[in-house]
Structure 1
Amino acid sequence: MRSAITISITPQARRGPFVFHDGLADGIEQAAKLGFDAVEIFPPAANAIDEAELQGLLDHHSLKVAAIGTGAGWVIHNWSLTNPDPTFRQRARDFIRAIIDVAAGFGAPAIIGSMQGKVDVDVTREHALEWLAEGLEELGDHAASHGQPLLYEFLNRYETNLFNRVAPTVDFVRGLRTKGVKVLADLFHMNIEESDLPAAIRAGKDWIGHVHFADSNRQAIGCGHTRIEPIIAALREIGYTGYLSAEIFPQPDALTAARQTIESFRKCSAS
C-alpha cells in the first residue's frame, strides 16, 4: 500500500477535510518533504489545474497523483448525478467527465462523492438510483476508456441517503453494466455506519479501489478511536495495494496532521 495526502485548491472548501490549502506547489513540496508517495487533489474545476505545471512539480518532487476529486461541482454549483432537473444532471456529468480526462493524464482516477446527490423530497429513491446508475454507467465507461477506474464513494447518513455501507454499495456497483467503477472506502464514513470495519473491508474484496485514511473524528489516524491494525490486516487479506489517502481536517494544523498521518502509515506498513 502507498501513502497520499490531500490538497484542496478550491477556496469554497477551505473548511473542508483536506490537509493542505495553500496551492499545489506548497502542498506537493510539503508532501514530498514528509515522505508521501502521492497527493490527492480537490480542484474547483478541471481547467483550474495547469497540467504542465502540475507535472513539473510532480517530477521535481518524485510524487504521483493518487486521485482527483469532483466534489466542487456540488460545493460550488450544487450539481449532482441525482438532481431532478436533467439539465443539472448533464452539467454534473460534464463536470465529472472533464476531471476524469485530467486525472487520466496523470495515471489517476477521479472520485465521485458528494456529487452523487441524495434522495430529496421531490425525488423517489427509485428515480434517484436510476439517475445515479445512468451517470455511473456513462462516466465509468469514459474512465475505462482511459484505462482508469471511476471511484464511487459511499458517504455517511448525514451526507447522503443513497448508500452508506460497503456491502450495499458493492451490490449496486456490481449490478452496473459498466465494469469501470470501483468503490472508495472512507474509514471516517465507515466508523459511523459499519459495525465491523475489517469485516466490511473483506466484503468489498475485488471492488475497493481507493481508501481514505481517516480516524473516527476525521482527523489523522491515531487521533481518534479507530483500531487501524485490524483494518490494515483486512486490506492485506483482500490484496489491496492502492493508496491510503488522508482526506482529513488539518487539525491542529496542516503540518502536524500530515506528520501524524505519515507516522501512522509507516507504523501500519511495518506491522
Structure 2
Amino acid sequence: MNTLGIHALVWAGDFTSASARKVIESSKRAGYDLVELSLHAPVMDIALTRDLLQEFDMQIACSRGLSLAADISSEDPECVRRGIAKLQEGITMTAQLGGNYFGGVLYGALAKYPGPLTEKGRYNAMESMKRMADVAAAKGITLGLEVVNRYESNQLNTALQALEMLDKLNAPGVKVHLDTYHMNIEETDFLQPVLACGARLGYVHIGESNRGYLGSGTIDFPEFFRALASIGYEGVITFESFSSAVVNHDLSNTLAVWRNLWSDGMDLAKHARQFIADGMGNARKASNVSNASNA
C-alpha cells in the first residue's frame, strides 16, 4: 500500500494550536497516514505539532510556493536572496516537524507571471536549487519539484520540463512531484508523464479537475492509477481539494479558490480515501494479471 495523505486545507485555513489538533486528529479519523502542511505564512507551535503527530501516529509532509517578492527565478539578487531564505526556512521546519519531504513550487513564484522566464532567471533558479539540494540533503530531506499549470508558473508546466531540471541539478534527493489537477491542464494524457518519471517520481497529488469530490470532474483517474502501478510507485499519494468553506488568506487567493465546492470536510476526505484505495487496488490487480500472463 502507498502512504495516503491529505492536505491540511481540507480541515483548516490556519495552523494555530486548536487548528493543529483538528487537522491531525481529523486526518487520522478519516483513515489517512500522513498530513501535508502548507508553510505559507506559517504560524505554528513546532513542539506541539510534533507531539500531536506522535499522539495520532501520523506522518507529515510540507509544501509551499514562493511569492513574486521572494522568487529565486527573479533577475533581482535581493529577490533571489529572499526566496532562498524562504526555502531554507521550509527545509528547517520540515526537519523540526519530523518530516522528510518538502515540495511544491520551490523553483519560482506560485503566481501568474506577466511574461516568459528569462535566461538570467533560469540560471538563478538553477543555482539556487543546487544550493537548496545540498541544504536539504544534509538534513535528510527530499525536495519535490511540483509541476503546475501555466497560470501558476512560467517554468515547470510538464513532467518533461521537471525531468530536464533534474538532469541539470544532478541531485538524487530532488524528485518530481506530479499533480493530476495540473496534469489535466498541461499534459497530453495521464500515462506518459508517469512512465517518463519512473523512479524519479517522488510525490503525488490527487485532485479533481474542479478541485472538488474525486470522480466529479474530467480526470481519467483509472489511467493515472494504472500508470502508477505500472512503474511500481510506492510513494506518498496525497489528496488535495479546496473550497471557499475553508480559507487560507495567502494560499486560497493564490489558487483562486472562489467557489464553495464542499462544506463537509470529513465526508469529502473519507470519500477520497476510499476512491484512491480502490483505484490503486484495482490498478495493481490488473498490473499483476498482465505481468503473469506475459511471464
Q: Name the TM-score class by shorter chain.
A: 0.7 to 0.9
Counterpart CA distance in 1 for 2:115 and 2:76 is 11
1:39 — aligned with what? 35
1:87 — aligned with what? 78
SS in 1 for 2:178: strand
1:140-155 matches, within 5 Å, as 140-155=133-148
Deviation digits for residues 186-215 of structure 1 (CA, Å, limit 9, x no counterpart): 110000011111111111112111001111
2:222 — aligned with what? 229
Deviation digits for residues 155-183 of structure 1 (CA, Å, limit 9, x no counterpart): 10111121211112112211114333111
Change (3 A) 1:249 1:170: same
Contact 1:119 1:125 in 2 (8 A): no
Counterpart CA distance in 2 for 1:40 and 1:245 is 8
Deviation digits for residues 111-157 of structure 1 (CA, Å, limit 9, x no counterpart): 13176137956875211211110121111111111222111112101
Give the one of 47, 50, 62 matched to 1:52: 47
1:44-123 matches, within 5 Å, as 44-45=40-41, 48-65=43-60, 67-71=61-65, 73-74=66-67, 78-105=69-96, 106-113=98-105, 116-117=108-109
The residue type paired with residue 43 of structure 1 is L
Contact 2:69 2:82 in 1 (8 A): no
Say how many residue pairs are matched: 256
Contact 1:109 1:143 in 2 (8 A): no
Instruction: Tell me the TM-score normalised to structure 1 length.
Output: 0.87
SS in 2 for 1:116: strand
Counterpart CA distance in 1 for 2:170 and 2:228 is 26
Identity of aligned residues (%): 26
1:256 — aligned with what? 267
Change (3 A) 1:50 1:265: same
Counterpart CA distance in 2 for 1:100 and 1:40 is 14
Counterpart CA distance in 2 for 1:176 and 1:53 is 36
TM-align CA RMSD: 2.1
Counterpart CA distance in 2 for 1:51 and 1:31 is 18
Counterpart CA distance in 2 for 1:122 and 1:194 is 21
Change (3 A) 1:220 1:81: farther
1:181-260 matches, within 5 Å, as 181-250=174-243, 251-253=261-263, 254-260=265-271
Instruction: Please list every run of 5 or more consecutive structure 1 residues that lacks an aligned counterpart in the other structure.
Output: 8-17
Counterpart CA distance in 2 for 1:127 and 1:121 is 16
Instruction: Tell me the TM-score normalised to structure 2 length.
Output: 0.80
The residue type paired with residue 20 of structure 2 is L
The residue type paired with residue 23 of structure 2 is G
Computing the radius of gyration from Cα coordinates, the structure with the larger value is: 2
Change (3 A) 1:161 1:43: closer
Instruction: Please list every run of 5 or more consecutive structure 2 residues that lacks an aligned counterpart in the other structure.
Output: 14-18, 244-260, 283-295
